[in-house]
């Protein structure tokens, strides 16, 4: 019996793999600090949980909703996007999906033909490349500046007849980089000139720190340009990773096509989760702000500590998301550990700290650490890594 060629091209998610290994070690009684996974450590705020409980108890959550989501939720998403981005959109521009992952998956299915290229500025989030391949497309990793940004010049060099889409992620997983409006304008002009779709993954848009401001490339005009597709969701901002609600905001023709796809692929996302997301987006934002503030404090504590570890270097301080992506080339040289994969493995097995190999994001000699865990644990992780470096040099 043979599996399909399509599925044989797919690698399991590297972040889930490292996290699985760490969880296995923990199950075996080993005290592992897991900085591998991108998941807030907070409980979903209570008002959001209560909204889901009420939807279940009143029976509203028992039935299918339209495949593209509850009309009230689509309207709320349109309103939040219109306010935050200063663009006029309505619910015909919105589809609700089973997490932002499905928002991306459905979008690739809706716009890619076999062989179409998607430019992925490196480093890029692990699932993009695999999802593009599943849609028959070709992931095209491309180089960026030292500050981890693409520019029209770099895009021009990467442009071939195959390129149909550019994928931007700001604030970026794994670097925490945020693009400035002027930089986005230049990229938007380039995309418009070459008639390239731009998918902007804005899932970390509300997690910005120390006064940094997030602007989406989709927010530069009063209207949403037809070539721009916004991916967003509630998982990270509201600590709702388990609820699986994401969404796409795009031109209504694409949304119609995507809705047809969703109606066959997933049907509607869980109704109770949709009621919870409605409360998340329209209810009090105090808990979301409390969590954002906690991430900010963790970043401000962890960044200097990590930079002080011999061989670890972070040229620029992240401005958003909840990851650090240090260059560990010197750490490898100091310890004589040849590959970043081995470095990550030894950190896990000897120091009991789980981080992700930068190669999973298309960039060698880097590791990704998530600071979506409490301050004490983060400080403890730094001590363990420091000790590891001492014993190996």
Two tokens at 178? 């945020």
Determine phi and psi for 137, rounding to 5 degrees: -85, 180
For position 173 contacting ligand PLP by CB under 6 A, the verdict is yes
The H or E element that residue 233 is part of is strand 228-233
Q: Which is nearer to ligand PLP, 10 or 30 (CB)?
A: 10
The string of DSSP codes covering 120-170 is EESS--HHHHHHHHHTT-EEEEE---TTS---HHHHHHH--TTEEEEEEES
Which region among 48-56, 94-102, 182-190, 254-262 touches ligand PLP (by CB under 6 A)? 94-102
The answer to whether 203 contacts ligand PLP (rule: CB under 6 A) is yes
Contact map string, positions 344 to 373, toward ligand PLP, x by CB under 6 A? ------------------------------
Helix/strand/coil percentages in the chain, nearest 5: 45, 15, 40
Which C-beta is closer to ligand PLP: that of 52 or that of 337?
52
Q: Which residue from 101, 133, 206, 368 is in contact with ligand PLP, where contact means CB under 6 A?
A: 101
Q: Which is nearer to ligand PLP, 218 or 309 (CB)?
A: 218
226: its two tokens: 């037809």
d(CA 205, CA 233): 10
Instruction: Work out whether 169 is an interface residue with ligand PLP (CB under 6 A).
Output: yes
| Closest to ligand PLP by CB, 99 or 121 | 99
Distance CA 257, CA 241 (A): 26
- Please count the residues of this chain forming the interface with ligand PLP, following the rule CB under 6 A: 13
The reply on whether position 233 binds ligand PLP by CB under 6 A is yes
Residue 201 is a binding residue for ligand PLP (CB under 6 A): yes
* Choice between 137 and 320, CB closer to ligand PLP: 320
Q: How far is the CB of 265 from ligand PLP (least distance, A)?
A: 14
73 binds ligand PLP, rule: CB under 6 A = no
Q: Does 246 bind ligand PLP (CB under 6 A)?
A: yes
Structure tokens at 92: 């015909």
**Closest Cα to residue 164, out of 121, 116, 120, 124?**
116
The CA-to-CA distance between both ends of the chain, in Å, stands at 50
In the complex, the smallest distance separating the C-beta of residue 222 from ligand PLP, rounded to whole angstroms, is 27
Q: Which is nearer to ligand PLP, 171 or 311 (CB)?
A: 171
- DSSP assignment of 1-46: ----HHHHTPPPPHHHHHHHHHHHHHHTT---EE-------SPPPH
Q: Is 81 helix (H, G, I), strand (E, B) or coil?
A: helix
- Could you say whether residue 216 binds ligand PLP (CB under 6 A)? no
Contacts to ligand PLP from residues 3-42, by CB under 6 A? 38
- Report in angstroms how near the CB of residue 391 gets to ligand PLP at its nearest: 33
Q: Which residues bind ligand PLP (CB under 6 A)?
A: 38, 99-101, 125, 169, 173, 201, 203, 233, 235, 241, 246
């Amino acid at each position: 019996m043979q599996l399909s060629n399509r599925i044989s091209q797919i690698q399991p998610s590297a972040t889930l793999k490292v996290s699985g290994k760490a969880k296995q070690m923990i199950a075996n009684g080993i005290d592992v600090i897991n900085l591998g996974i991108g998941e807030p450590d907070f409980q979903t705020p209570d008002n959001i949980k209560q909204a889901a409980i009420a939807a279940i108890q009143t029976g509203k959550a028992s039935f299918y909703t339209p495949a593209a989501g509850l009309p009230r939720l689509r309207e709320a998403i349109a309103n939040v996007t219109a306010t935050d981005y200063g663009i006029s959109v309505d619910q015909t521009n919105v589809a609700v999906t089973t997490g932002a992952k499905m928002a991306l998956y459905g979008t690739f299915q809706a716009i890619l033909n076999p062989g179409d290229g998607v430019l992925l500025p490196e480093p890029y989030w692990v699932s993009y490349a695999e999802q593009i391949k599943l849609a028959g497309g070709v992931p095209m990793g491309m180089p960026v500046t030292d500050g981890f940004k693409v520019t029209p010049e770099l895009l021009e060099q990467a442009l071939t007849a195959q390129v149909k889409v550019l994928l931007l992620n700001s604030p970026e997983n794994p670097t925490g980089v945020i693009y400035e409006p002027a930089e986005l304008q230049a990229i938007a002009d380039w995309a418009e000139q070459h008639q390239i779709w731009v998918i902007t993954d804005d899932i970390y848009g509300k997690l910005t720190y120390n006064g940094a401001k997030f602007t989406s490339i989709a927010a530069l005009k009063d209207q949403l340009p037809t070539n721009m597709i916004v991916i967003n969701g509630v998982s990270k901002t509201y600590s709702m990773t388990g609820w699986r609600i994401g969404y796409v905001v795009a031109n209504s023709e694409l949304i119609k096509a995507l809705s047809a796809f969703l109606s066959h692929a997933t049907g509607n996302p869980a109704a109770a989760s949709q009621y919870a997301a409605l409360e998340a987006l329209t209810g009090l934002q105090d808990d979301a702000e409390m969590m954002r503030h906690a991430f900010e404090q963790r970043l401000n504590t962890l960044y200097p500590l990590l930079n002080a570890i011999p061989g670890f270097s972070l040229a620029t301080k992240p401005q958003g998301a909840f990851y650090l992506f240090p260059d560990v080339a010197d750490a490898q040289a100091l310890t004589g550990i040849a590959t970043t994969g081995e470095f990550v493995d030894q950190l896990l097995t000897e120091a009991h700290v789980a981080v992700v190999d930068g190669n999973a994001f298309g960039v060698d000699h880097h590791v990704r650490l998530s600071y979506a865990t409490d301050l004490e644990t983060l400080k403890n992780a730094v001590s363990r890594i420091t000790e590891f470096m001492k014993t190996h040099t």
